A and B are shown apart, each in its own frame.
Chain A
Amino acid sequence: MSGRPRQNGPAQAKALQFKLVLLGESAVGKSSLVLRFVKGQFHEYQETTIGAAFLTQTVTVDGVTVKFEIWDTAGQERYHSLAPMYYRGAQAAIIVYDITNRDTFERAKSWVKELDRQARKDIVIALAGNKFDLSNKRMVEVEEGSAYAQEHNLIFMETSAKTGDNVSNVFVEIAKMLPKVEPKPNNNGQTVRIDDNQEAQNGGGPGCCSKN
């Protein structure tokens, strides 16, 4: 009897918690995406990240809450060698490029390759073409990003941290792909166990667990 979890005390279910890392060339908008997602803000002149910023954010997907521990890394090449400190062990990554800058797309591809080699095998990767609000200056066509993502089995979205377009969608899509260790209890299939004949037939006496 003591093996059954208590149900009317404080919640004891473990949090679904995932480490997510943002990677990509400098100035593609990694920190802006996080700031938009976590605080709903946008700064036109976002400070350059020199280090790795840490924030948390929870999303609810299909009734399951998923807590992200977000590591927003410095994009400058000089810090490249430090990136594994952050993507190592991460369950999810968002690789960001700037749709108005082709070089950043190429850089994004090399991040995908690096993660393929060095990151967890089950890492969920999203490719985000950011600065969608500047699509009139676009240098990378949406089809190109989408095709690359499809080929490498990545979630793909064009986003705008400035307008907020698709920002939380990226995180939500990732959350959907992440393994849910705890199965969702069935809301509709509520059954109550009561004293009934079946139990009597089973010889369910005192202390006999009726879960069979």
Chain B
Amino acid sequence: MVDFIDYEQTEPRQRATAVSSDDVHIKLDDWSVVGQSTVHDYGEDWVTYGRETAVHRALNQRKNEFTNLQPCRVLCVTWNVNGQLPSEDLDTLLSVDDRPADVICVGFQELDLSPETLLLMNDSSKELMWMEKMKAGLPKGVSYKLLKHIRLVGILLVVYVRESMISRVSEVYIGSVSTGIMGMLGNKGGVSIKFNIDMTTISIVNSHLAAHQEMVERRNQDYRDIFTKMRFDNDEANTLKNCDIVVWIGDLNYRVSEDEITGEEIRALAEKWEIGPLLRFDQLREQRNKHLVFEEFVEDTINFMPTYKYNPGTDKFDTSEKCRTPAWCDRILWKSNTVLKCEDYRSHPIHKLSDHKPVSAVLLVQTRVVDVQKKQLVLDEILKDLDRIANDSLPQAALNRTELNFDGVKYLEAQEQPITLQNTGTDLFEFEFIPKLEDRSICAPWLRIEPQKGVVDPGNVMIINFTVYIDNRALKTIGPDRKLDEILVLHLVNGKDYFISVSGYLVQTSFGRKITDLVRIPDPIRRQNLLVDIEQSPDEVKVDEESPVALNIPKELWRIVDYLYQHALFEEELFAVRGSPMDIGAVRDAIDTDGPIQVSSIHSVAESLILFLDSFPDPVIPYEHYPVCLEYCTHFANSKRALRNMDFSHRNVFKYICAFLREILSHSERNRSNAKFLSQVFGDVLLKPQLPEAGNVAKSTSKKRSLFVYQFLTNDYDE
């Protein structure tokens, strides 16, 4: 708890400011309920630093560390003026204290009882007069500014602030709640002005609650309505609840209960100044003791006579026909989350124009003032903490390795290596492989990653498998150096990226080589079972365009076809049944090393032939001749002419394959082969478009491709 700062110590400095009361400006315009609240930028300072709600909250929690408390004297006055004109001077109400207040809040009720005011809520000339009177009655020697005023029919609230303090005031808002008939007419209800002094939020409420002895519950309800329904600046979040200090003044209309004591007895006690006994029957005290109204509010001890009801112009209690019982209708209460001291609580019987006496209280409140330098230090600490929390909560992971080496990858032979991704943090994280810059896919076609994304719980390990598999599609993306090189970006969502390098090389193979290269290589393309590192690879066979052409067709093609010729001429369903991967590997090794072909199924060799033909970077019918061949697919003479224009080796391969297929067809009564099927299969292998074709186009060109081949299977062809 913060100790109360003695006002005396700081007062002299403030008192030194003496300015003429002419500096008090009063706004004399529309007095209706809807008003423009005022704003200034002090709050910005607080807000600007708090870019994030977290910073704002942390600063708020630690505000004691960078704020000092400064005393502020608030004079609150409430008076039911019974619709009278201000015939009395008000310095006897507003300037009675030795020490002029810093803030003066004046609340009137029944300021104007004229029917027009009640029904039309128009300007009130009486208000104007009362404002002038107040201005004249403010303490002399101190300059005040009218901070704000608000009127709801006859309920007027005016707040003045010392001019020298104005720079410390911000966030000025107004609000009102009508509790009169149907909640519409404002003859009963409350108005409020809310403002900050330094960092402390203060609301003053002036209310006029329901009248009459028996209407206690109605008054309680009026209080609750005003407290809960009050909104400032039409903002649902801006209520009386989030104020540091609420001072509630007004004609609360609570009477002295006549349940246990008669009106005559009350009047008799009052006339004898027997305040104590009478207060025992004060309805407000009763209701508050039962926690039915003004919970959490505090009221100072009443040492003054009942303020109601007097014969106007006198200090005599009501002698009219109604003969109202004396009561303390006019009250001042407050609730505060800091220490608040009430210096004086009194009535002002000298004022006689109304049937009520004014009541006032001098409250010593404490406002929070920011020490800018201290605040900066606290802010720096908070930001550092928040950064630390943010950085600590980033996903934390460990990879068992970031480099994968695939040495000696063989065509069509998958190799797999795992990486383990461990969550070493305290929260689960998501990971995903992301494409690099403009790349669409996350890795090269020869690499497969499983899984590509996922979630890892704290302490858990995810095994990510990397599989290198080189098929004909992947072959086309591998350079002549046969190097495999790829960097993958493994991204932890909301965190760091890891780079995973995958490298290796493809074992030398005839698959995927150009026909024009293969016919220049008379030796086996690879020495048997030699799997040495590519850098010193002695199996590299250098080929250039200048080398002499040694062979009519690639020897590997000859090996495969020759094998089929010897073993498969009578085989049914050739090229329709798939082989086994192991056999295909064996065929690959056999033709690459010039070893014997040993397979379990003849169909593996047949499939190897298809794969081999399909692997050429430039198809058997070269891309540049493809359009012409399609055009002539039903014109054999032209087709032959087209063929003559092709490269010698390509033409030879085409002729060789066709001759072989015709040989198969010549045994069709045994192997049940037919030219249509074979030309379909080989049409799509021997002829290929350079760019992928759309589905419907591909269908018609496929037919043309097979027609082109068909001609050569059904006609003898000799140049």
Interface residues, chain A, with chain B CB atoms under 8 Å away: 1-2, 4, 6-16, 38-39, 50-58, 60, 63-65, 67, 74, 78-79, 81-82, 84-85, 88, 182, 184-187, 189-197, 199-200, 203-211
Contacts and interface: CB of A to CB of B under 8 A. Distances in A.
Contacts, number: 184
Nearest to A12: B47
Contacts of B386: 58
A51 B499 contact: yes
A16 B383 CA distance: 13
B36 A207 contact: yes
B28 interface: yes
Contacts of B145: 194, 196
29 contacts: A7-B39, A8-B171, A8-B196, A10-B50, A11-B48, A39-B388, A52-B497, A54-B394, A55-B394, A58-B384, A65-B49, A74-B499, A78-B487, A79-B487, A186-B41, A189-B41, A190-B41, A192-B166, A194-B25, A194-B147, A194-B148, A196-B27, A196-B145, A199-B29, A204-B36, A205-B29, A206-B35, A207-B36, A208-B36
A4 B45 CA distance: 16
Given A8-B171, A51-B499, A55-B394, A84 B47 contact: no
B36 A82 contact: no
A187 B436 contact: no
Contacts of A63: 48-49, 376
Given A53-B496, A58-B387, A185 B201 contact: no
Given A8-B171, A195-B26, A195-B149, A60 B376 contact: yes
B370 to A, nearest CB: 10
B491 to A, nearest CB: 9
B36 A190 contact: no
Contact of A7 (B43, B146, B387, B489): B43
B391 A200 contact: no
A187 B372 CA distance: 10
Interface in B300-326: none
A29 B27 CA distance: 66
Contact of B41 (A185, A194, A205, A207): A185
A46 to B, nearest CB: 15
A194 B498 contact: no
B38 A194 contact: yes
Contacts of B57: 10
B271 to A, nearest CB: 43
Interface of B: 25-30, 32-45, 47-53, 55-57, 145-149, 161, 166-167, 169-172, 196, 201, 233-235, 237-238, 242, 372, 376, 379-380, 383-384, 386-388, 390-391, 394, 402, 436-437, 487, 489-490, 495-499, 501
Nearest to B495: A54
B25 A195 contact: yes
Contacts of A51: 402, 489-490, 496-499
Nearest to B399: A50
A13 B34 CA distance: 28
Contact of A185 (B32, B38, B45, B234): B45
B148 A184 contact: no
A207 B32 CA distance: 10
Contacts of A84: 437
A32 to B, nearest CB: 16
A66 B172 CA distance: 31
B383 A200 contact: no
A61 to B, nearest CB: 12
B40 A191 contact: yes
Contact of B55 (A11, A88, A194, A195): A11
- In this complex, the member of A10, A15, A52, A79 whose beta carbon has the largest number of chain B beta carbons within 10 angstroms is A10
A93 to B, nearest CB: 17
B237 A9 contact: yes
Contacts of B237: 6, 9
Contacts of A85: 436-437, 489
B337 to A, nearest CB: 15
Given A7-B43, A51-B498, 16 more contacts: A7-B44, A8-B171, A8-B238, A39-B388, A50-B402, A51-B402, A51-B489, A58-B384, A58-B387, A60-B376, A82-B499, A191-B41, A192-B170, A195-B146, A206-B36, A209-B36
B48 A182 contact: yes
Q: Which 4 A-B pairs have the closest CB atoms?
A: A195-B27, A11-B50, A185-B44, A7-B43
Given A11-B50, A58-B387, A78-B487, A187 B45 contact: yes
Contacts of B489: 51, 82, 85
Contacts of A9: 237
A15 B146 contact: no
A120 to B, nearest CB: 16
Given A38-B387, A199-B27, A194 B56 contact: no
Contacts of B238: 6, 8
B326 to A, nearest CB: 37
